[in-house]
Amino acid sequence: MSLEKEALLRALGAEVIRTPTEAAWDSPESHIGVAQKLQREIPYGIILDQYKNINNPLAHEFTTGPEIIAAVEGTPSTSSRPSSGKIDVMVAGAGTGGTVTGISRAIKKKHNKECIVVGVDPKGSILALPNDLNADGEGSMYIVEGIGYDFVPDVLSRDPKDVNTWIKTGDDESFAAVQQLMRKEGLLVGGSSGSALSGALRWLKTNAGRQVAESEGKNVVVLLPDGIRNYMSKSWFLNIAMESEPSPLAGTIKQILGSSKPNGVALQNGH
């Protein structure tokens, strides 16, 4: 968990207990195990349990899903930007699985039962199993936060009618996609959003994806669920922000400022 998340929780008055990332989900040292111990011993303690709480996917079936549907249906089809008026493909990362499950049910029940729902799972997670049985780094560590687990939460539907197919993504491609979203779209999103975009781009290169890409008016919705605020101290973000190649404008700025330096004195940061 990022330092920003911890700081925000503490600012709100919460007590934060960090648990080992490498601890198995069912071990006493895991975040689940520690929470269960505290719940047993703290009077009136309660665990809302996003992994099992049916209200998790229901919240997305009755709020997030209809919001996305309304946005697509409310966008007019034009000659320059034709639209089927439907969500033809929905791409979302899976953590607890409540989001992708709930949105899928909202779309398929009342909007477009033929919609293809693509779940995105980081390499190292097992949520894509048994759809993806290859050794895609199963059980290995990954940096992207908020998606993927070493167990399958109850609220994640395993029915292929809800999540039709899965795509595995790696950290490098996810963070590269984050940089593209920032530079080209001005969207300050986090790693799981990069996973969703890179997963969508990878799926569009499959046979089924190419059919969609080559069909005029098809709408592919990619859910970007996080913001960069929670990850600004992470090394992957600092590398994107501070260590990237200079922009094309950098040379022009250097030339302008270099030619106006008084008495040949070099300019320093902040002056």
Rg (CA), the chain: 22
Q: What six digits make up the tokens of 121?
A: 């799972």
256 domain-assigned: no
Q: What six digits make up the tokens of 166?
A: 């899965």
Using one digit for the tens of pLDDT, what is the confidence trace for 12-54? 999 999 999 889 889 999 999 999 999 999 999 999 999 999 9
* 30: containing domain: 3-41
* pLDDT confidence of residue 139: 62
Cα–Cα separations (whole angstroms), residue 187 to 105, 177, 180? 27, 11, 9
Helices (H), the chain: 3-11, 31-41, 55-59, 65-73, 98-110, 171-185, 191-203, 207-213, 235-242, 248-259
Average pLDDT over residues 138-167: 91
Shared-domain flag, residues 67 and 164 = yes
* pLDDT confidence of residue 248: 86
Q: What six digits make up the tokens of 83?
A: 């639209």
Q: How confident is the model at residue 209 (pLDDT cuts 50, 70, 90)?
A: very high
Q: What six digits make up the tokens of 73?
A: 């249906």
Shared-domain flag, residues 28 and 157 = no
Least confident of 40-54, 139-153, 208-222: 139-153
Q: For 164-200, give one letter per residue: b (16+ CB within 10 A) or e.
A: bbbbbbbbebbbebbbebbeeeeebbbbbbbbbbbbb
Shared-domain flag, residues 27 and 74 = no
* pLDDT confidence of residue 81: 95
C-alpha–C-alpha distance, residues 263 and 28, integer Å: 67
Using one digit for the tens of pLDDT, what is the confidence trace for 80-118? 999 999 999 999 999 999 999 999 999 999 999 999 999
Using one digit for the tens of pLDDT, what is the confidence trace for 172-193? 999 999 999 999 999 999 999 9
Q: What is the tally of structural domains in the chain?
A: 2
* pLDDT confidence of residue 230: 92
Contact between 174 and 93 under an 8 Å Cβ cutoff? The reply is: no
Its pTM stands at 0.87
Contact between 120 and 197 under an 8 Å Cβ cutoff? The reply is: no
Percentage of residues in the chain having pLDDT higher than 90: 83
Average pLDDT over residues 206-211: 97
Shared-domain flag, residues 118 and 196 = yes
111 domain-assigned: yes
Shared-domain flag, residues 103 and 221 = yes
82 domain-assigned: yes
Q: How confident is the model at residue 133 (pLDDT cuts 50, 70, 90)?
A: very low
Cβ-Cβ contacts under 8 Å for 263 (sequence gap 6 or more): none
Shared-domain flag, residues 89 and 199 = yes
